[in-house]
Amino acid sequence: MVLALVALAWHGYGKYQQMTIKTEQAAAELPMADLPAERPLSRPERPTGLEYRCDGRIYCAQMTSCAEANWFLKNCPGTKMDGNNDGIPCEKQWCK
């Protein structure tokens, strides 16, 4: 009985390998135009402090960097980014 289960598992694994190889070959034969465009590896440049403006954002989830969060904390009223009031905003997300 055990030998039959091992043989069945071995046969199933072989079929799986064949299917994987066929899928990889089909993907390799696709024209380059059909493939999705690659994303750039570098991040876009973040604005400097002079380019920030108080625009109603008050939460860490709305920020894109630690520098931006610091600027908003110091310059915009009503921000909710410094829960322990230590002067460091977004400690769990941006300013670790």
Q: What is the pLDDT of residues 23-59, one digit of tens each?
A: 777 766 655 555 555 555 555 555 555 678 888 888 9
Is 11 contained in some domain?
A: yes
Helices marked H in the chain? 2-28, 66-75
| 6 part of a folded domain | yes
Average pLDDT, the chain: 80
Is 22 within the bounds of a domain?
A: yes
Give the range of the structural domain holding residue 12, as residue numbers without chain letter.
2-27
Task: Tell me the whole-structure pTM to 2 decimals.
Answer: 0.48
Taking every pair of Cα atoms in the chain, the longest distance, rounded to a whole number of angstroms, is 76
* Domain-embedded: residue 21: yes
Helices and strands (H and E) in the chain: how many: 2, 0
3-state helix, strand and coil shares in percent for the chain, rounded to the nearest 5: 50, 0, 50
The DSSP output letter for 78 is: T
Q: How many domains does the chain divide into?
A: 1
